[in-house]
Amino acid sequence: MRALISLHDRVFGALESAAPMLIPTLARVVFAGTLLVYYWNSVLTKWGAGPFSPDLGAYIQILPRAFEEAGFDPSQLGPLATPIVLLGTWAEFILPVLVVLGLFTRIAALGMIGFVIVQTWVDIVGHGVAGETIGAWFDNSPSADIVDQRAFWLFLLIVLVLRGAGPLSVDALAGRYRSADLTPASQPR
């Protein structure tokens, strides 16, 4: 029995020591595998003639009620509508790239958390998503598009806010570069 306990302690002790490297790196890999293409495909539905001229679909997706009230005419939305749509579209493109690369990861993950919260609000209030699509926790059904799935998305992003990008990232590379610049041997005399 002691041998089994000792084996258990060695195996899980090794995993525990690898956790600081594995957890944020795996979080970024899972994000890339599940959400990167999702967000990029969404961006492609919003870019009209290019990244600085949003398609009508962008207004429908981001400002659904206001756009409908404006008769589906962007010029009737007011001066803030186009900047809001452009910033939302660019955030949906840039923030996932930063998370996957591990560049400014904590800030990008915080931005993505805000993005998911706004996305959820727009889905529920703006698009009128309801019922089973929203779902509920503790309801014996783990497949609701809003509450269940987005809880996992947010958890993944919270891990990155708390742990950073991990050792296989641009952030880690930049940190090693900064450390090398700050060592006494590299400073001028």
20-78 per-position pLDDT tens digit? 889 999 999 999 999 999 999 999 999 877 888 899 999 999 999 999 999 999 999 99
Q: How confident is the model at residue 182 (pLDDT cuts 50, 70, 90)?
A: low
Q: DSSP letter string over 90-101?
A: HHHHHHHHHHHH
Pick from 150, 152, 45, 34: which is nearest to 100 by CA?
A: 34
Tokens 């940190």 identify what position?
175
CB count, 10 Å around CB of 25?
A: 18
- What distance lies between CA 137 and its chain's CA centroid? 21
Domain boundaries, the chain: 27-164
pTM: 0.87
Cβ–Cβ < 8 Å for 75, 81: no
Question: Encoding tokens for residue 53?
Answer: 């001229």
CA distance 115 to 100: 16
Cβ–Cβ < 8 Å for 140, 157: no
Dihedral Cα 173, 24, 160, 133, nearest 10 deg: 140
